[in-house]
A and B are shown apart, each in its own frame.
Chain A
Amino acid sequence: MTDAILSIDSLTIDLPIGADRPHAVEDVSFDLNKGEILCVVGESGSGKSMTANALMGLLPDGVTVGKGRAMFDGKDVLTLPEAQKQAMRGARIGMIFQEPMTALNPLMRIGDQIAEVFAAHNLLSGSERRARALALVKEVGLPDPEKIIRAYPFQLSGGQRQRAMIAMALALEPEILIADEPTTALDVTTQAQILRLILALREKHGMAVMFITHDFGVVAEIADRVIVMRYGQIVEAGIAKQVLESPQHEYTRALLDAIPTGTVPELAPITTAPALEIRHLNKIYRTGGSPFRAAREVRAVNDVSLTIAKGEVVGLVGESGSGKSTLGRAVVRLVTPDSGQVLVGGVDMAALDENELRKQRHRVQMVFQDPYASLNPRHRILRTLSDGPMAKGVSKQQAHKRALDLLEIVGLGADAATRFPHEFSGGQRQRIGIARALAMDPELIIADEAVSALDVSIQAQVLELLADLRRQMGLSILFITHDLRVAAQVCDRIAVMQYGRLVEVGPVRDVFHAPKQAYTRELLAAVPGAGWAMEKEDATA
């Protein structure tokens, strides 16, 4: 193919002196052809977003293009004067971002924001702009377009905001659309809709799409060609099907292997003694409300009953707003439920008063989502791990000894004890978080999206650690996740939540292969690359 619309030739982007490496992107060359979807895949820090930002002239301060060219329409976009770059942005190259909430102006109506794109390029009259905005809103499939163009961003859901962003990017019919992780912040079902929308728009407008993602599932879903990046270099490039089926580079193979495949593990022998019993739990959030107006009520947890046996791992799956996190937090009593019981080893955690609760806290521990926020930045690891046991009454020597042992067990080594959290990577911090939970010798661990913030290869390692620990120690875990593939990998049973209710509970195999509820089927179908994962599974089976 020679109809390249954009061709990047040995692009090198320099990082400021003192950064962890000299170049964000090093000697990268590729072509983007007319009408194709090119996926750029890599883990965080691989330079994939920097490449896109360089094309748009949006590099952060101190980061500069070292050498190389990016030829678009006979001109090098990297060296264009600022005025021409401005004219090109939006008009000929459109971009959509990861976080639709922060990418939209919160104080401007959607219609005005789309119209502003025309205004910025001095096109059309006021009324024509409005008409085009309305047409675009219709085209990206937003419901009730007349209403939407008068709405503010906060009134839209995440998926709707991303559609609005796409409408803005499409306004001037650009030849190239750069999409930087546009679906990462969205739920699976919404993600599937956005991916379908991008495919449909590509068909209609024949634009080229450079789609940046870390998710091979997404690649399998939409890509024509793939580029795999690591440490600023392209390690593999090729037709999507080829790369997915027969990856040449070992890094690509490692990435592909690290993806949770949905392969169902064999069931562990389960005792019948329950580690956790949740009975008819309810939690309602009330917001607003005054003597004159009724408060808005959200039933975050609605009459949920669930039992976890000793040594069992139960996955709690649902989309954002389904109440899964509230349920987890109610079990550890970070949230006090309105009614119902949470029995852990015979103690009703929901009914304890504050003093009693403090003494019983050690029974249930939590591994948090954000490895950067979950460790006190001012405490050394040893203190983080031993404060809890010491509050429980364990002697200092014992607590310290146990902390060192646990650091060995989670694979960090005892010398990590004297260091501060900022000296560790995200994956390592999550290991520390797991060690902290284990230090309390809990009867149950709640893992709330514990691997969601991690890169796939790191994610795989942490999941493996959890599986190991579980085999060694017979842990009972409530594993909260939005990612069905992850759930399938570590869980014995899966509980699916929607609107605060448990809609389906069952062994992983049953839920995956014979889902009873329509909602579960919908969730499964929305997983990106579902068909491809199945093929992969069949091939390995």
Chain B
Amino acid sequence: MTLWKRFATNRGAVIGLIILLCVIAIALLAPVIYPGGPWKMVQRPFLVPFTNGDLPLGTDTLGRDVAAGLVHGARVSLLVGLVSTVMALLIGVPLGALAGFYGGYVDEGAMRFTEFFQTIPNFALAIVLVAILEPTLGSITLAIAIVSWPPVARLVRAEVMSLKRREFVEAAHLAGLSNTRILVSEVLPNAISPIIVMASLMVATAILLESSLSFLGLGDPNIMSWGYMIGAARTVIRSAWWLSFMPGVAILLTVLALNLIGEGLNDAFNPHLKKGRT
């Protein structure tokens, strides 16, 4: 069976993929759907959802269109999630690979460095980083990347350590290939599947982190994001609950979709692990 076929047998994963594709499409089409942007005041404030045909999700405390905010917020969430994950992989994969492959002092050094980051609570470190840097989209992304690479390094290290003892790697040594070449072309390609699974889950975590930061008011003030919307509406949660509820659902669906995809990928890459489960 091909990878796609195995993935497709997991119904949850397919649903997740469909949701994610919808979110991506909405994010890409945001300037077309709401060319006016999310900040424009279009109606009276606190318009209840489903009462006005033009503004299906109502308006917020300042009379801005909630639907426009959600659509534009999707861009931010996905962008931050994706870019920060790529950055975390760029730090974590090489570090973990070197540690696992060379062992000894390289391993000790790399792992102590990793533990240094792991001992600080993720969210606290992210807050500190954003507070020190300016609250721009770039620095938020960087902060998220910096707090989320250690697990990648650990995973890659473990994978490389088990792969480097495999006979085909020994055969590559015997063929006289250089260490770098063995690591890059023999070992790492075989470690790719757990990395992909982890990356899909990291995107979800990054979206949550970005929302949490925005909720606390540490987001980029010039950019509409889901977390910012919840944060701005929390003071009126008793009178206008839908203002927090709508972006909350958006976050829930996106993160759920990514988790479903992650699990589906995991099952697709490791078909033998699935057999025991019913």
- Residues in A lying within 8 Å of B, measured CB to CB: 18, 60-62, 332, 334, 358-359, 361-362, 364-366, 368-370, 373-379, 387-388, 391-392, 433, 436, 440
B40 lies within 8 A of chain A by Cβ = no
The answer to whether A368 and B172 have CB atoms under 8 Å apart is no
Q: Interface size bucket, B side?
A: 20 to 34
Contact in complex: B275, A61 (CB < 8 Å): yes
Partner of B176, one of A362, A366, A369: A362
Interface-side segment among B45-53, B162-170, B227-235: B162-170
Q: Is the CB of B278 within 8 A of A61?
A: yes
Residue in chain B with minimal CB distance to A60: B275
Q: Which of B1, B167, B189, B275 touches A370 (beta carbons < 8 Å)?
A: B167
Within 8 A of A (CB), among B1-16: 1
Residue of B whose beta carbon sits closest to that of A421: B168
Minimum CB–CB distance from B165 to chain A (whole Å) comes to 9
Known: A61-B275, A61-B278, A373-B166. A391 touches B171 (CB 8 A): no
A359 nearest in chain B by CB position: B176
> What residues on A are CB-neighbors of B170 within 8 Å?
334, 366, 368
Across-interface contacts of A364 in B (CB, < 8 A): 174
Residues of B within 8 A of A62 (CB): 275
Q: Which of B1, B172, B190 touches A387 (beta carbons < 8 Å)?
A: B172
Most A C-beta atoms less than 10 A away, residue of B172, B174, B186: B174
The answer to whether A373 and B167 have CB atoms under 8 Å apart is yes
Identify the closest chain B residue to A448 (Cβ): B167
A11 to chain B, nearest CB (A): 23
Collect the chain A residues with CB atoms within 8 Å of residue B174's CB. Answer: 332, 334, 361, 364-366, 388, 440
What A residues does B176 contact at CB under 8 A?
358-359, 361-362, 388, 391-392
Name A's interface SS.
loop
Q: What is the CA–CA distance of A366 and B278 in the complex, to the nearest angstrom?
A: 43
Contacts of A376 in B (CB 8 A): 168, 172, 186, 190
Closest to B177 in A: A391
Identify which of A61, A334, A433, A436 contacts B173 (C-beta below 8 A): A334
Contact of B175 among A374, A378, A391, A433 (CB under 8 A): A391
Interchain CA distance A392-B178 in the complex, whole Å: 11
Q: Closest CB of chain B to A53's CB: distance in Å?
A: 14
Q: List 12 A–B pairs whose Cβ atoms lie within 8 Å, in order of A's numbering.
A: A334-B170, A362-B176, A364-B174, A373-B168, A374-B167, A374-B168, A375-B168, A377-B190, A379-B186, A387-B175, A388-B174, A392-B175
Kindly identify, within residues 144 to 198 of chain B, every residue whose CB is under 8 Å from any CB belonging to chain A. Answer: 166-168, 170-178, 181, 186, 189-190
Min CB–CB distance B99 → chain A (angstroms)? 19
**Interface bits B4-32 vs A (CB < 8 Å: 1, else 0):** 00000000000000000000000000000
In the bound complex, CA of A358 to CA of B172 (Å): 11
**A61: chain B residues within 8 A (beta carbon):** 275-276, 278
Q: Is the CB of B175 within 8 A of A440?
A: yes
Check B171–A368 contact: CB distance below 8 A: yes
A194 shortest CB reach to chain B, Å: 29
Q: What residue in chain A is nearest B188 (Cβ atoms)?
A: A378
Besides the contacts A374-B168, A391-B175, A391-B176, what 4 more A-B pairs have beta carbons closer than 8 Å? A387-B172, A388-B172, A388-B176, A433-B171
Q: Which residue of B lies closest to A329 (CB)?
A: B170
For B1, the closest partner residue in chain A by CB is A18
* Contact in complex: B167, A368 (CB < 8 Å): yes
For residue A403, give the distance in angstroms from its CB to the closest CB of chain B: 12
Residues of chain A contacted by B278 (CB below 8 angstroms): 61
Closest Cβ–Cβ distance, residue A133 to chain B (whole Å) = 30
- The listed residue with most A CB atoms (<10 A of its CB), out of B1, B172, B178, B278, is B172
